[in-house]
Structure 1
Amino acid sequence: MKKFFIMAMLAVAATSTYAQDIKSVLKAKDYAEAQSQLNSCLSSLSNEEKAKAYNKLVELSMQKVNKENSTIVENQALQQMGQQAKPVDMQGFYTSLTNALNAAQECDKYDHMPNAKGKVSPKFHKKNQATLWTLRPQLINAGQDCLQKDDNKGALAYYAAYVESGNSSLFADMDKTKAPDTYLGEVARVASVIAFQEKDMETANKYCDVALKDTASYKDALNLKMAMMQQQMKTKEDSVKCLKTFEELYANDKNNESIFTNLATLYGNLGMKAEQDKCIQERLAADPKCFVAWAVKGQAEMNASKWDEAIADFKKAIEIKPSALVMTWMGYCNNNKAANLQDVNQQKVLLAETEKYLEKAKELDPEQKEANWKYLLYNTYYVLYGADDARTKSVAP
């Protein structure tokens, strides 16, 4: 009997301690106190209790948010009347808003879990959703403020909070036709750029993938994604890993010339000749006048020292669109073909053709931003006209 009595007392004590723990969270008067109390008793709480506790964090954070937001609105009216604005704790506003969003997402997670009776009956979902959706864009302002102070890490944290919350379950069932999130893709792209600059490639790729899903941000996000992948291809293993991503991108955007060029070139770099040929042929079958397909095909032949085949492909590309780079490649192939000839007259015929293409490349790209035609043109002039000819001297290194 005594043993049973002691066990009963312990059970009562445990229940009393548990009740006191959750009560201490709900009685807290500020966010820091409530968070501390919650952290100390979180593991002992039920799903329903956890939702209630995290909602308390939301309410306490929103007290600061609402206070500063009221002053911001009031200052807008004062400014219109030409009166002096009241001080605003913007850092406190941004921090509290971030805390509210994070707490609301945790609250929502437990709010949608079964309660003690096994039922799912969210109590805070709609309220927190309606309260926080329209305030989220303030995190963009927070990020911009950080960038003006050269605080990239702070900016990334705020932009990340914006993107993460936008994709959370808290807002998943919300009718966004009335209040669409028009900034998500661009904020994700900027967050990706910042993470890339900070050499955090995992985060950069994560947010770039979010931006790729947005029509308005797709083009810039795609260029960023490809640039990041090219930087990551330091070993064969890196290239094989990136190849899968290029294949996925191309499967979703067959008409994109940049993706095609990178994919076909990567196949070639990895020695996957059959896959490269298939990729190119499929592209040409869909569009026989595809400039990039003929250019990539010619480049593959050039890399294999198949000069005649490469020249034929490059000529087809040039017929579609004049290009300083392709014309420079033409010159390179001609010069290599000429070097293998024993007949001097035949060599000069080819070099004369090289001269024509390289001079056109010079005309199209005088600053050599697209192709390094100058070195080839100098060698061509040198062989045809000698070192003292004015044309040779004009492009001398």
Structure 2
Amino acid sequence: MRKLFMLAVMVAATSSAFAQDVKSVLKSKDYAEAKSQLGACLSSLNNEDKAKAYNKLVELSLQKVNKEMAVMSENQVMEQMGQKDGKLKPVDKEGMYASLTNALNDAMECDKYDRQPNAKGKVAPKFHKKNQTALWPLRLNLINAGQDCLQKEDNKGAFNFYATYVNSGTSALFDDFDKTKSPDTYLGEVARVAGVIAYQAKNMDEANKYIDIALKDTASYKDALGLKLAMMQQSMKTKEDSLKCLKSFEDLYAKDKSETIFTNLATLYGNLNMKDKQMKVIEERLASDPNCFTAWAVKGQAEMNESKWDEALADFKKANAIKENALVLTWMGFCNNNKAANLQDVNEQKKILTETQGYLEKARDLDPNQQEANWKYLLYNTYYVLYGADDSRTKALDPSK
């Protein structure tokens, strides 16, 4: 009986100690101290007390933010009045940005517990609306914070500010906030930049996370898509990686039938030897758009890879009729040269090679620096067979010189 009594006393004392810890957090006037005290007792708190404690951290951070912003406003007034010389007060911008970051992160934690059922099973948030109203207009300062870091070449700092901006903007804290009067017009672009920074740091999980958010924004979509496609292609190191990437391309194509995604999807089908799926997506594309340059070009490439020279040429010609392209013209020359190589009749060979000459010279005119297509060797070989090694045209393209 004595042991049970002593145990009850210990439990009561422990509960009292935890309660005192919560009170000390709520009474604290210093953020770092309150944060430390909360860390020491967090695991013992119920959801209601956790929400109260995190809200206290938000309040302490906002005191710093509001103090520095008040000084900035005062300085702006002084500048407008032409009285800035020697009278402007110092502003702790870095401290303000850090405090704003803390306020947003702590507000999201507060909200997580604030919206949990209480002891009676009811959900009655106490801090949700208040924190929404206070923090939504302040988030824009994190964009300035990120820009300041980029100017100092502090990419890590910039990423942290941009990530906080995006994470808070897409969090449950603001999911029911009326944004009609104050829309977040920067979310997509900030997410894209955060994705770029993460990509440069080779943090692919974070890069994908923020680029995927940017893809939901109309203004940032095109640039974000380019990076997303590049990341997907770079991730293909194994067969399993390629199949995972293929699924991502299929999901993207289901939402966006742009030529860029179509080209990558159809090409990947071919690389994975999924010829039936490749031809199906190409035929579906042509059925919806018979004048799709990319579809005819990809179809011709697939046939060329199977040494179906006549079929490939026919499709390349359809593509080139829609839009002249140096790479397509070079592929046409390649197909023709292979056809000619299989002929025994010299006159027929020259006839085909003369046709090849026209394709490749046009490719040269369109792409003189070979930025799109490697037409030079094919044209040299064509000149060599038609006119011999001593012809001036052949000599001009001689790779040995």
TM over 0.5: yes
Quote the Cα distance in structure 1 between the aligned partners of 2:196 and 2:186.
15
Q: Which amino acid aligns with 1:155?
A: A
- Tell me the SS of whatever aligns to 1:134: helix
Partner of 1:279: 281
Partner of 1:121: 124
Partner of 1:337: 339
Structure 1 stretch 206-215 or stretch 15-24: which is displaced more? 15-24
Partner of 2:150: 147
Q: Check 1:8–1:202 CA distance in 2 against 1; reply closer, same or farther (3 A cut).
A: closer
Quote the Cα distance in structure 2 between the aligned partners of 1:31 and 1:252.
46
Quote the Cα distance in structure 1 between the aligned partners of 2:157 and 2:15.
42
Matched, 1:249 2:252: yes
Q: Check 1:336–1:174 CA distance in 2 against 1; reply closer, same or farther (3 A cut).
A: same
Cα deviation 1:122-166 (Å, max 9, x = unaligned): 010011001110111111111111111111111111111111101
Partner of 2:47: 47
Q: Which of 296, 312, 315 in structure 1 is aligned with 2:314?
A: 312
Quote the Cα distance in structure 2 between the aligned partners of 1:213 and 1:396.
51
Partner of 1:187: 190
Q: Which amino acid aligns with 1:265?
A: T
Residue 380 of structure 1 and its aligned partner are, at CA, apart by 1.0
- CA RMSD, aligned part only? 1.2
Partner of 1:233: 236
Q: How many residues align?
A: 396
Partner of 1:210: 213
The answer on whether the counterparts of 1:46 and 1:116 sit within 8 Å (CA) in structure 2 is no
Residue 14 of structure 1 and its aligned partner are, at CA, apart by 2.2
Residue 368 of structure 1 and its aligned partner are, at CA, apart by 1.4
Cα deviation 1:266-290 (Å, max 9, x = unaligned): 0000000000010000001111111
Partner of 2:76: 76
Structure 1 stretch 226-235 or stretch 6-15: which is displaced more? 6-15
Quote the Cα distance in structure 1 between the aligned partners of 2:89 and 2:391.
77
Q: Which amino acid aligns with 1:113?
A: Q
Cα deviation 1:199-246 (Å, max 9, x = unaligned): 011111111110010011111111111011111112222111100000
Residue 253 of structure 1 and its aligned partner are, at CA, apart by 1.1
Partner of 1:171: 174
Quote the Cα distance in structure 2 between the aligned partners of 1:4 and 1:305.
88
Q: How does 1:125-136 map to 2 (within 5 A)?
A: 125-136=128-139
Provide runs of 4+ in structure 1 moved above 6 Å. none
Residue 2 of structure 1 and its aligned partner are, at CA, apart by 4.2
Residue 9 of structure 1 and its aligned partner are, at CA, apart by 2.6
Quote the Cα distance in structure 2 between the aligned partners of 1:22 and 1:104.
17
Q: Which amino acid aligns with 2:37?
A: Q
Partner of 1:381: 383
Quote the Cα distance in structure 2 between the aligned partners of 1:288 and 1:160.
44
Partner of 1:324: 326
Unpaired segments ≥5 residues, structure 2: none
Quote the Cα distance in structure 2 between the aligned partners of 1:262 and 1:274.
16
Residue 340 of structure 1 and its aligned partner are, at CA, apart by 1.2
Partner of 2:271: 269
Quote the Cα distance in structure 2 between the aligned partners of 1:237 and 1:10.
57
Partner of 1:370: 372
Q: Which amino acid aligns with 1:396?
A: D
Residue 49 of structure 1 and its aligned partner are, at CA, apart by 0.3
Matched, 1:138 2:141: yes
Partner of 1:294: 296
Structure 1 stretch 80-89 or stretch 189-198: which is displaced more? 80-89
TM-score by length of 2: 0.96
Quote the Cα distance in structure 1 between the aligned partners of 2:59 and 2:268.
53
Q: Which amino acid aligns with 2:33?
A: E
Residue 97 of structure 1 and its aligned partner are, at CA, apart by 0.4
Quote the Cα distance in structure 2 between the aligned partners of 1:9 and 1:317.
86
Q: Which amino acid aligns with 2:336?
A: N
Give the % identical residues: 74
